[in-house]
């Protein structure tokens, strides 16, 4: 007995009715989502504080404002995004009109993680609704307070004939995945990404996989250590390091490491005080399991800064590890916590070699006063996104696509990229029912002349037939 069967049937019926395709219907859903965010700002901030002890500013900056901006952008641009996109034709189709129609896929499944449980659930939802789909949302069961708000309050703001929230952990999600969807949008670990993709294969369902991994951060000798330290400390310890695009480790020379360490210590003290545990601006580890995992990683290399932990609060101090071996667990798995190992290399070439020997990361950062060094790093590597002398603030720019490459994921979203991700790009050619005489040339029996004409007509656009 499939517990999701009725919900899925209901949503499929709505989609088949065509209601979700109308621009007015889509706009009404987006407006509802915007109202949900505005009316429940405090409730969401409280839930995020309960789940992760997120500070109101970090909640606003990385979750609520980003969602609200995505909603506003989608409402503002809905008509232009939905418009057919005319394309040029070749000589064979000169008298026809060719265009790309963005049509909704149908029923979408969005599966979200716990680390930014509002952002990573609602930003994809904006794209899916704007594109005219019906949606099933599966928030993370780990960020429980946020899950509760999303399950109990959000549906009141949306048309429930096209939208539903489904709850559960791995077992329920796998049961849900046995059903057929028209697109699955998953954010989480590469391990579960493979489970999702395998389930999607059974129904030939397209997937977007937003995964994680180890994002490197190269620091060149030619840099101002305090500037680099400020930026790296902020985006490594933001949300207690539980950020998919946080710099997972620093690569630099031993000399730069020695200049960076006091600068990092100084930035930590300035941002979180002498006792970071009492800072209201430092989040906590989401649960006991992750706390224990991170505590285990503190034993790798040598603790140069921090290293303290308190299980009763799931607190781990902003920590820097040095003398770390490549083979140690901290360099084998994604850290996803407030621990920053420094790995020493002799320079740019060795750093590039270190990075390109590994899976393509979700993000890559390079810091240098010399723009050639930053550009070389960009040229000689690949990653989902790239920050030159900057952290993950590119995530606040909706005109940039967000997504991984290789092991860090497939597909992209944010802004119009989300709309396109949740739309089928249908190739359309509209010809006149008349003018049949002009078609004679392409029908058999073929002659030398028709051969020449067809070759010319197709070559003039540099295309080939089939
Ligand atoms: P996760 O893969 O454990 O869980 C993600 C979702 O999948 C949850 O909703 C969960 O209920 C479900 N799930 C978990 N195990 C499952 C299973 N065996 N079968 C079916 N479904 C299952 O990920 P997480 O711990 O919630 O999130 C952390 C990971 O997500 C990190 O690797 C991080 O880098 C990645 N992440 C990536 C991005 C991105 O945008 N690329 C953003 C945030 C987090």
Q: Which atom in ligand 1 lies closest to the alpha carbon of residue 191?
A: 2
**What is the C-alpha radius of gyration for the chain, rounded to an integer number of angstroms?**
26
State how far the Cα of 296 lies from the Cα of 198, in Å rounded to an integer. Answer: 31
pTM for the predicted model, two decimal places: 0.96
Respond yes or no: is residue 436 known to be catalytic. Answer: no
Give Cα 34 to chain centroid, integer Å: 20
Give the count of beta carbons closer than 10 Å to the beta carbon of residue 94.
12
State how far the Cα of 221 lies from the Cα of 223, in Å rounded to an integer. Answer: 6
Respond yes or no: is residue 162 known to be catalytic. Answer: no
For a ligand 1 pocket test, name from 117, 119, 189, 403 the mutation site with the most ligand atoms within 8 angstroms of its C-beta: 189
Cβ atoms of residues 302 and 328 within 8 Å:
no
Which one of 223, 244, 252, 300 is the catalytic residue?
244
Angle of the 254-272 helix axis to the 225-237 helix axis, nearest 10: 60
Nearest residue (CA) to ligand 1, atom 26: 113
State how far the Cα of 136 lies from the Cα of 339, in Å rounded to an integer. Answer: 35
Alpha helices in 166-287 (DSSP H): 170-177, 190-202, 225-237, 254-272
Identify which of 180, 54, 192 has the alpha carbon closest to the alpha carbon of residue 112. 192
Q: What is the DSSP letter of 203?
A: T
For residue 75, the CA-to-ligand 1 centroid distance in Å is 29
Which one of 63, 147, 210, 334 is the catalytic residue?
210
Q: Residue-wise pLDDT tens for the chain (466 aa)?
A: 899 999 999 999 999 999 999 999 999 999 999 999 999 999 999 999 999 999 999 999 999 999 999 999 999 999 999 999 999 999 889 899 999 999 999 999 999 999 999 999 999 999 999 999 999 999 999 999 999 999 999 999 999 999 999 999 999 999 999 999 999 999 999 999 999 999 999 999 999 999 999 999 999 999 999 999 999 999 999 999 999 999 999 999 999 999 999 999 999 999 999 999 999 999 999 999 999 999 999 999 999 999 999 999 999 999 999 999 999 999 999 999 999 999 999 999 999 999 999 999 999 999 999 999 999 999 999 999 999 999 989 999 999 999 999 999 999 999 999 999 999 999 999 999 998 998 898 999 999 999 998 999 888 655 544 4
Nearest residue (CA) to ligand 1, atom 18: 170
Structure tokens at 104: 């909704």
Identify which of 108, 333, 310, 303 has the alpha carbon closest to the alpha carbon of residue 212. 333
Q: Which atom in ligand 1 lies closest to the alpha carbon of residue 362?
A: 41
State how far the Cα of 290 lies from the Cα of 297, in Å rounded to an integer. Answer: 11
Domains and CATH numbers, the chain: 5-211+412-424 (3.40.605.10), 216-403 (3.40.309.10)
Residues with CB under 6 A from ligand 1: 111-115, 120, 138, 140-142, 169-170, 173-174, 187-189, 192, 195, 210-212, 244, 334, 336, 362, 404, 409
Structure tokens at 192: 């579960």
pLDDT at residue 460, as a whole number: 63
List C-alpha distances in Å: 427 to 56, 61, 98, 205, 433: 46, 39, 8, 20, 19
3-state SS, residue 386? strand
């Amino acid at each position: 007995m499939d517990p999701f069967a009725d919900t899925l049937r209901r949503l499929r019926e709505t989609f088949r009715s065509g209601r979700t395709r109308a621009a007015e219907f889509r706009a009404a859903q987006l407006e509802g989502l915007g109202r949900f965010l505005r009316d429940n700002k405090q409730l969401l901030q409280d839930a995020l504080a309960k789940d992760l002890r997120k500070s109101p500013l970090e909640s606003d900056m990385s979750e609520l404002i980003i969602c609200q901006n995505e909603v506003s952008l989608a409402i503002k641009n809905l008509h232009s995004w939905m418009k057919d996109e005319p394309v040029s034709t070749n000589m064979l189709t000169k008298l026809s009109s060719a265009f790309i129609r963005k049509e909704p896929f149908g029923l979408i499944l969005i599966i979200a993680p716990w680390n930014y449980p509002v952002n990573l659930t609602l930003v994809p939802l904006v794209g899916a609704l704007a594109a005219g789909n019906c949606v099933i949302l599966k928030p993370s069961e780990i960020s429980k307070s946020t899950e509760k708000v999303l399950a109990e309050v959000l549906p009141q703001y949306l048309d429930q004939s096209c939208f539903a929230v489904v709850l559960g952990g791995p077992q329920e999600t796998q049961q849900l995945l046995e059903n057929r969807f028209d697109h699955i949008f998953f954010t989480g670990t590469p391990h579960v990404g493979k489970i999702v993709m395998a389930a999607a294969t059974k129904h030939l369902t397209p997937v977007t996989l937003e995964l994680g991994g180890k994002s490197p951060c190269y620091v060149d000798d030619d840099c101002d250590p305090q500037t680099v330290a400020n930026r790296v400390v902020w985006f490594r310890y933001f949300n207690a390091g539980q950020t998919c695009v946080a710099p997972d480790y620093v690569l630099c020379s031993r000399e730069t490491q020695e200049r960076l360490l006091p600068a990092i210590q100084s930035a930590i003290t300035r941002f979180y005080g002498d006792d970071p545990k009492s800072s209201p601006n430092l989040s906590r580890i989401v649960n006991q399991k992750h706390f224990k995992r991170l505590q285990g990683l503190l034993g790798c290399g040598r603790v140069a800064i921090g290293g303290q932990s308190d299980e009763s609060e799931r607190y781990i101090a902003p920590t820097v590890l040095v003398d770390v071996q490549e083979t140690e667990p901290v360099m084998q798995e994604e850290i996803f916590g407030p621990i920053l190992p420094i790995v020493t290399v002799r320079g740019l070439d060795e750093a590039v070699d270190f990075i390109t020997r590994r899976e393509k990361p979700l993000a890559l950062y390079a810091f240098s006063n010399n723009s050639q060094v930053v550009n070389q790093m960009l040229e000689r590597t690949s990653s989902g996104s790239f920050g030159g002398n900057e952290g993950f603030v590119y995530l606040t720019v909706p005109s940039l696509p967000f997504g991984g490459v290789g092991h860090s994921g497939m597909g992209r979203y944010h802004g119009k990229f989300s709309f396109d991700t949740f739309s089928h790009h249908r190739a359309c050619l509209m010809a006149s029912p008349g003018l049949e005489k002009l078609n004679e040339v392409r029908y058999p029996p073929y002659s030398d002349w028709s051969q020449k004409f067809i070759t010319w007509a197709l070559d003039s656009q540099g295309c080939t037939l089939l």
